């Protein structure tokens, strides 16, 4: 089945005795029992399939995990978590559990991921080295020096939209015995399947495009065969579980995700082209740009006409935060918010939100200037989106 059909049908309609619910119910029970203690013992021992305790598994969550596994081509299983950041943490823990505690990470990451690496994992003895993940020579040199247990990157980086060669990085990781962990939130399974390209673990913030309506906080780690038992054991021990209500809401959102994402990608292309011609815009960051530094990789890995739904741009002549705030406040339809992937368009100021806790010098080294804003383009009519930006820019 194609992804549009899989998103609608996978995971649902498990028989319950003589009847079958058309959508997966919300199982709120924390504990499950059986007719005999011997049956429960076999469930605990994994001799029988079944539920025992919701920290171990939950039928609603299991249905969502089955759905996501079907969406991510090449994967062996999925663990859904309480947030995208929880998914990042448990993916890195699974990658490093039996490997050298050393991470080579992209120097273009979501700010909270950088904080996790530097302020949580590093104090626990994990060596972290940041580099340009799009520079293969730099990666090879770092591998030779660090002998990492894990390589960590984003499919499309936040917020400057760099794109690394996942398949080639996966080969380098295999060559040194490291695991490749990929945060693919911006790309979604509609655009790229990192495990099919050789990655070991893939992270999604389900809060974003997959759930898609701004009403769920959730994350997922999608795994290859090797790391799935480790993920399951970490879940049983650490308890990063997603609630069943949130699992149900996410599953409902995913049913329309391919249709929404296609529309959002289409709108983003049109908005990026319009902004690129505007005299009050210094620079537009969008993967379709033929001058994009990773254009060859994008052409090779991305489907035709799907470049993601994030557009970042620098405002011409604005150098102070209050000036950027004034521009954002003039928007009347586009929402000023810290998330992305909703059905409505959102604008974020990275220096204030996603990368707020980084030092100014570090932000500037990453290329995140004080006049940079990031747009998550929604499904509204493109004429209305452009009209809102046109008015805010003073046309």
Q: What are the residue numbers of the active site? A: 55, 110, 183, 208
Q: Which two tokens stand for residue 286?
A: 């969008």
- 221-247 in b/e form (b: 16+ CB < 10 A) is bbbbeebbebbbebbeeeebbbbbebb
> Could you give the C-alpha distances from 2 to 64, 66, 155, in angstroms and in order?
18, 16, 22
Q: Which two tokens stand for residue 236?
A: 């049983």
Q: Which two tokens stand for residue 257?
A: 């995700």
User: For residues 23 and 248, what is the distance between their CA atoms, to the nearest angstrom?
Assistant: 9
Please report, to the nearest 10 degrees, the dihedral formed by the alpha carbons of residues 223, 229, 234, 236 taken in order: 120
**Cβ atoms of 125 and 102 closer than 8 Å:** no
Q: Are strands 179-183 and 150-154 parallel, antiparallel or unpaired?
A: parallel
User: For residues 164 and 181, what is the distance between their CA atoms, to the nearest angstrom?
Assistant: 12
User: For residues 346 and 337, what is the distance between their CA atoms, to the nearest angstrom?
Assistant: 6
Cα-Cα-Cα-Cα dihedral sign, residues 297, 299, 304, 307: positive
* Furthest-apart CA atoms within the chain: distance in Å: 74
């Amino acid at each position: 089945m194609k992804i549009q059909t899989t998103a609608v049908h996978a995971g649902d309609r498990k028989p319950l005795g003589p009847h079958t619910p058309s959508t997966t119910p919300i199982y709120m029970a924390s504990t499950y029992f059986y007719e005999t203690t011997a049956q429960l013992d076999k469930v605990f021992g994994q001799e029988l399939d079944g539920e025992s305790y919701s920290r171990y598994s939950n039928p609603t969550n299991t249905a969502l995990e089955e759905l996501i596994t079907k969406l991510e081509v090449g994967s062996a299983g999925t663990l859904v978590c309480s947030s995208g950041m929880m998914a990042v943490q448990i993916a890195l823990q699974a990658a490093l559990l039996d490997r050298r505690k050393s991470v080579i990470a992209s120097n273009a990451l979501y700010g909270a991921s950088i904080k996790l690496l530097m302020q949580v994992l590093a104090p626990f003895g994990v060596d972290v080295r940041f580099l340009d993940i799009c520079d293969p020579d730099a990666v090879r040199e770092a591998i030779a020096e660090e002998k990492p247990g894990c390589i960590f990157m984003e499919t499309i980086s936040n917020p400057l939209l760099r794109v690394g060669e996942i398949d080639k990085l996966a080969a380098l990781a295999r060559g040194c015995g490291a695991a490749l962990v990929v945060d693919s939130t911006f790309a979604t399974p509609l655009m790229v399947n990192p495990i099919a390209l050789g990655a070991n673990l893939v992270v999604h913030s389900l809060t974003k495009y997959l759930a898609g309506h701004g009403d769920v906080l959730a994350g997922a780690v999608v795994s290859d065969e090797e790391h799935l038992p480790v993920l399951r054991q970490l879940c049983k021990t650490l308890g990063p579980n997603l609630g069943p209500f949130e699992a149900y809401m996410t599953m409902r959102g995913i049913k329309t995700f391919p249709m929404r994402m296609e529309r959002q990608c289409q709108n983003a292309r049109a908005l990026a082209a319009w902004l690129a011609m505007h005299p009050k815009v210094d620079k537009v960051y969008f993967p379709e740009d033929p001058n994009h530094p990773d254009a060859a990789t994008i052409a090779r890995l991305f489907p035709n006409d799907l470049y993601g739904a994030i557009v970042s741009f620098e405002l011409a002549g604005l150098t102070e935060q209050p000036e950027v705030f004034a521009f954002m406040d003039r928007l009347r339809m586009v929402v000023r918010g810290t998330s992305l992937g909703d059905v409505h368009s959102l604008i974020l100021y990275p220096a204030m939100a996603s990368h707020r806790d980084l030092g100014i010098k570090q932000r500037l080294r990453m290329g995140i200037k004080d006049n940079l804003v990031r747009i998550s383009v929604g499904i509204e009519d493109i004429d209305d989106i452009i009209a809102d930006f046109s008015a805010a820019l003073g046309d």
